[in-house]
Amino acid sequence: MKFLIVPLLLVLTGCTVVDAYFMAKFDSNEYQLINQIKSATEININNCNDRDKMNFVVEYIYVKGTEFKNYTVDLPGNEKAKTLASEIYKQIDGLHKRYANPDNISTAYCKTKLSAIEESAKTIHEVIGDKPR
């Protein structure tokens, strides 16, 4: 019976090593949140002429931006991601405040803001993908 325990322990230890090797080297939650922001801006940039649709899109981006900012804030050793999250949140918050106002929003303004947020999200996406855990 004791002879079976040793090989079993070696196999289980080996599985842990393999899992650690194939595990993502970055924070997958941060990566997912910024990917959702990046994807929403990319997909919806051509919907800027539809105020009703954009109200929903801007609210979605705002929620994801807030989640991203709040997720990064208290993680130890995460100053870079915290700063990046804060900066993109400011961009998103500006767009959100503008859409909260009932005044007309030009298609050009919408596209410019979404493009800026998308570019920031792409950069953050790359940084987080390269960041060690």
CATH code (residue 81): 1.20.120
| H helix or E strand, kind and range, residue 101 | none
Considering the entire predicted model, what is its pTM? 0.80
Residue in 2, 82, 79, 75 with CA at minimum distance from that of residue 34:
82
Residue 13 lies in a domain: no
Residues in the chain where the model's pLDDT stays below 50: 17-23
pLDDT of the residue at 125: 93
Tell me how many domains the chain contains: 1
How far apart, in whole angstroms, are the C-alpha atoms of residue 42 and residue 2? 59
Structural domain that includes position 120: 26-130
pLDDT tens digits along 49-68: 999 999 999 999 999 999 99
Residue 19 lies in a domain: no
Residue 125 lies in a domain: yes
- Tokens for 89, please give them: 């949140």
pLDDT of the residue at 102: 92
pLDDT of the residue at 23: 45
